[in-house]
Every structure is written in C-alpha cells, then in structure tokens.
Amino acid sequence: MGFTLQRSMERAGSIVDELRAEGIDDLAIQMALDHQEAQRGAGVPVYPLRVICGLDQLDRRTDRSVGQHALALAVAPRNRPGKGGLHITREPVWAKSIQTGSDAEASFPVRLTTATSKAIMNAAYRGHDLGLDACTAARRDKRELTKEEQKLAALTPSGLKILRRLLQEAHYRKGWVMPAYETIAAWTKLGRSTVIRQLKALAAIGLTEWVRRFDYECDREKGSRSKQTSNLYRFALPRWLAKFLKIDAPIPDDERTRREIALEDHAVMLAQTPEAERKRLMPTDAPSRAPLIIAAYRHDRRSLREQQARECHGGTEPQDSSLYMEVDMRNRPSRPMSRP
C-alpha cells in the first residue's frame, strides 16, 4: 500500500498534496489511486483524482465503469434549489423543514451522557481560548487566520453561555431541545441577534446542529394549514476539533469495521434514492462527500467479486443431479426389494 502511494505521488506531483489540503485522508487517496490503476489496466477512460474523491463533478455522458452506486454519488444532481413557500393560510414555511411528530423528527435528537456533555463543554472552552490566542498571534505576526482558527475566533463567551444552557436542557429533556430564539434569549439574558449569530458559530464548529420544523393542522372550520415552529437541536463533539485540541483517542478495530459497514449501507441507500432526494441528503462539502463515494465504490467492487465467484457465472448451467437422485433411490436400503 505504501509503495503504491509513493509511486503515485511521484507521478501525480502536487495533486496528492492538493487533496490532503482539501481534507481528503490518505486512505481515500490510496483507494482513488488504486482505482486509476484498475482503469488503466482495463483500458477504460481514467478519471481524475479530484473526480474520484468527490471534489469535482463528473460528466453524465461518461461510462459506468466506476460502479453504479459510486457514480450516483460522484455525479452531482441537477441544481434544483429548494425554496420555502406560502401555505394557503399565507403562513411562511422554510424549505427542508420536517413535520412535528414525524419519523424524521423522532430520529433526529441524540441523548447525551453526562461525560459526553462535559467533553463537549470542555472542548468549547478550550476552543474559545485557542481562538483568542490565535487572534493575538495573528496580529503579532501579521498573518491571516486559518479556517479552523476563524471558526474558533467567532465563538464568544455569549456562545459558551448559550451552549451550556442548551446542554443542560438536553440533559433534563433527554435530548429533546426545541426552544425558540426568544426563549434562548430569555434564558441567557442576551439579544435575539446575538443568539442567532452564536448559534451559527456553534454550528460552523460542529458543536451543535438543528433542523427546522413545522406544525400541520387540519380541521373542518379552518381546513389544512402549516405553520413554522421552533427548531430542534442536537449536540456532538466534532472529530476535527478533537484532533485540533489533541484529545482524540484511537478507534478500536471492531468499531472501525462497524463504521465502515454502516457507511457503505448509508452510501448505497443514498445512491438508490431519487436525484432530488439525494441532493437534499448528500453533504455539500467535499471532505464529507469523499468517504461516501469511496464507501460506495468499495461496495460495488465487493459486489462484483461476489458476482464473479458464483457457480453459474458466464452462462455455465448448474449440474443436473436428477440421475444421481434416481440411482440413490434405487440403492436406498429402506426400499423394498422385489423377488427375482
């Protein structure tokens, strides 16, 4: 594996460095290089590394040698921007909102343990301190902040106050945190604009995530109506922040295998969905799209090997066992023998 990567790096030059700068790990780059070698050996068109890793779009007129699931995830669906609309009651509803009481809403919250909540809060405090130190160093050295430092620098003590209160509510409500902006402002004694700005800063870091919701009502007097309601929040410790703070622990082998299988199942599920639904579910950033494309390619390659290893591949008919069954029936001891 190391020899292939080294040889490909000599041939590709700065392409591998560009992929690493975009956030693509060495395993994904190695699988993309192996895929290029397989394409060259098969005599089919060779796709660029950026296309295989999901950084660039692939032309729809190309062939299907990549694999149907990997190609479905690599090719970006047609751009159909979602827009919110007005119901017949003239109430605005945001696009990509989920209905209250639906299965999508029930599967969104995550119940956190006390240790996880403390780890998230400690990481937020340490990230805030590192953001302040990065701003001081940037002014002293007259340099620009990196993307990670910009995310941490946008987090203020108000954001820490909001996160601490939301984590407390998540502990008491078993993960179901759905306050309105005005409610959060009343809890933290902050302005509504500050709450919105710091929630976006927390979401940019990856400490929090939310989904918009709407209520659907139907009665005989007023008819059917939809009305926007408060967001539903969940919290997590992003992996990049754990690495940045050097608190990331190695993943066990069995857990890594389980995650790979789950990622392959998720990638195949996304590849089989319609284009409009796939565009809504697929992540927009390249570092998140690349593992899904690699997982789909790994699934397609394994499925092809299993298909070629079957008994009846290549048009070979299965062996007829009717003759042997007839002989076995004749020689069966329990069968009554006729007298000569």
Say what the pLDDT of residue 160 is: 96
Which residues lie below 8 Å from residue 7, measured CB to CB, with a gap of 6+? none
**% residues pLDDT > 70 (the chain):** 72
pLDDT at 88 exceeding the cut of 60: no
Strand segments, DSSP code E, in the chain are 85-86, 92-93, 98-99, 208-219, 223-235
- 175: its two tokens: 């993960």
Q: Which of 247, 294, 259 is nearest to 24 (CA)?
A: 294
Whole-model pTM? 0.53
Which residues lie below 8 Å from residue 270, measured CB to CB, with a gap of 6+? 72, 73, 278, 281, 282, 292, 296
Q: Locate the domains of the chain by residue range.
A: 1-77+252-305, 85-249
Say what the pLDDT of residue 7 is: 46
pLDDT tens per residue, range 10-65: 444 577 888 887 778 888 888 888 888 877 776 667 778 888 877 777 665 544 45
pLDDT tens per residue, range 260-269: 888 889 888 8
Q: How confident is the model at residue 167 (pLDDT cuts 50, 70, 90)?
A: very high
Mean pLDDT lowest among 70-74, 213-217, 228-232, 277-281? 70-74
**% residues pLDDT > 90 (the chain):** 30
pLDDT tens per residue, range 131-146: 999 999 999 999 999 9
pLDDT at 191 exceeding the cut of 50: yes
Say what the pLDDT of residue 277 is: 84
Say what the pLDDT of residue 10 is: 46
Buried b (16+ CB within 10 A) or exposed e, 18-40: ebeeebbeeebbbbbbbbbeebe
Residue scoring higher pLDDT (92 or 295): 295
pLDDT at 9 exceeding the cut of 50: no
